[in-house]
Amino acid sequence: MPIDFTFGFAPLILALVFLIVASLKILREYERGVVFLLGRFWRVKGPGLIIIVPGIQQMVRVDLRVVAMDVPSQDVISRDNVSVKVNAVLYFRVVDPQKAIIQVEQYMVATSQLAQTTLRAVLGKHELDEMLSERERLNLDVQKILDAQTEGWGIKVTNVEIKHVDLNETMVRAIARQAEAERERRAKVIHADGEKQAAQALMEAAEMLSREPAAMQLRYLQTLTQVAGDRSSTIVFPVPVEMMERFFARNAEKD
């Protein structure tokens, strides 16, 4: 009587199929797999279809896309002793999957904590006016420091953007008063500069008229013509002594 081995090989076939399925891993274009062989680093694989031997090899997936991480609001005391709350957004990506997995535990958490401490340290060296008016420079300073410190983790910090600098109501009112005082100062300076220019122009005109007596007389006559056009009942107009002397001299000659 022949022996049926079908039921005897069925568990083995199922185990083999399960092993093959478990060995196949698919990595997307933006993913890499850090493979360990018996606990030791072996190589970085991907993207595409890769084979992992279960029990002997282990794989850790790493995403290579840019990560936008929100840095929580931080209490910062500026160099001029003003307390503010500052939050930012951090953009970074993994450029070396091997270092990101081996050199640091949970590189996402480590990068977030480093960004918070660096943000407080850098902004604490600057005054409030610089925080409000020179954000681009401060963003670049924070980005350079983070990029240098995370280089050993296989991480590239591409950009840092400070989003908000929140002040308390007292500081908001103080800044508003300072801005108003600055506007008033500029208005007074502009007014004084205009008065100075007008005085300079009048002085130059007076010097020019003093060199030409005839021009002075014509100017008086022009002014008399303008005043005569008004309907005022009484007009008091000063007459230069030189004009009166010339007038009397001419009358004396005629006599």
CATH 3.30.479.30 residue ranges for the chain: 67-167
- Return the pLDDT at 83: 84
Tokens of 7: 């039921």
- Residue 25 three-state SS: strand
| Rounded Cα gap, residues 27 and 154, in angstroms | 20
What is d(CA 142, CA 163) in angstroms, rounded to the nearest whole number?
13
Domain 67-167 has CATH 3.30.479.30: yes
> Rounded to an integer, what distance in angstroms lies between the CA atom of residue 16 and that of residue 255?
145
Each residue's pLDDT, cut to its tens digit, for the chain (255 residues) gives: 454 545 566 777 787 777 777 788 889 999 999 999 998 999 999 898 888 888 889 999 999 999 999 999 888 888 888 888 899 999 999 999 999 999 999 999 999 999 999 999 999 898 888 888 888 999 999 999 999 999 999 999 999 999 888 877 666 566 666 666 777 788 888 888 888 888 887 777 767 766 666 666 666 666 666 666 665 556 565 655 665 565 556 556 655
For the chain, what is the radius of gyration of the CA atoms?
A: 43
